[in-house]
Each structure stands twice: as structure tokens, then as C-alpha cells.
Structure 1
Amino acid sequence: MTHQPISSFYEAQTGEFIIEVEELLKLFESLTRVDIQRTGRPLWVVSKTWKEMFLC
């Protein structure tokens, strides 16, 4: 069985990963803005809450 070199696998995946992370950050920012608008809480409170819920 023939295998691709491992370095080419990582190069292809890195670009896709960066794009996906950028999209997730945009989504996180959008959801944070919506939460601020709907609850009236300050940015630091909303950011802390979201980070505790999703980044633990």
C-alpha cells in the first residue's frame, strides 16, 4: 500500500483549519453581539459567560 508523505497531509489540512477557525471566530463575535443586544449586559460579562460555556 502506498502512503502520501505526512508533510503534504499537514500542509493541506492547515489551510482548511485556518479558514474554519476564522469562520468560528466570526460566528462567536456575531453571537456575542446578539447576546449583548438582547440582554443589555456589558461586553465583558457576555464574553466571560460565552468563554466559560464553550471554551472549557
Structure 2
Amino acid sequence: MIHQPASSFYEAQIGEFILEAEELLKLHENLTRVYVQKTGKHLWVVSEDMENDIFMSSTEAQAHEIVDLVAVK
């Protein structure tokens, strides 16, 4: 019986995980740059706000210049 060591299976999974992590980091960087362009704030301010998971109401998001308009019924 020929048997492939389990380590190569885990190496393949690790390689896939690294590729996915790199893709997520690129997506995060692109999203941060979009917020920087949209809000006109410094990169470090937007990055810090995103890292802190700040939850905002719709009016707070408008004041923070993330949204353009808040509809009121």
C-alpha cells in the first residue's frame, strides 16, 4: 500500500489559507482607501475607526461622511 503522508494534506490547506488571508488583506486595504477618498479623512483615522468596529446610527454615519443621504419617512 502506498500512502501519502498527512503533512502534505495540511501543507495544501495552509497554502490555501495563506492565499485567502492575503486576499482578505487586499480587500480590507481597498475598502479603507475607498473610505479615505469618500470621507477625506487621513488613512490612519479611517484605519483606526475600522479596527475599533465603531457602530454608528444613520445620522452619525452621515456626519462621519460615510453615507451621502439619510432618508426620513
State the TM-score bracket (shorter-chain normalisation).
0.7 to 0.9
CA distance in 1, matches of 2:50, 2:5: 39
Which one has the largest radius of gyration? 2
**Quick one: distance in 1 between partners of 2:46 and 2:16?**
29
Per the normalisation by structure 2, the TM-score is 0.61
Identity of matched residues, %: 66
Shift of 1:51: 1.3
Count of aligned pairs between the two proteins: 50
**In structure 2, distance between residues paired with 1:36 and 1:5:** 48
Q: Which residue of 1 aligns with 2:28?
A: 28
Unmatched runs of 5 consecutive residues or more in structure 2:
54-73
The root-mean-square deviation of aligned C-alpha atoms, in Å, is 1.4
Structure 1 segments (4+ residues) deviating >3 Å? none
- TM-score, with structure 1 as normaliser: 0.76
The gaps in structure 1 that reach 5 residues or longer are: none
Higher helix share: 1
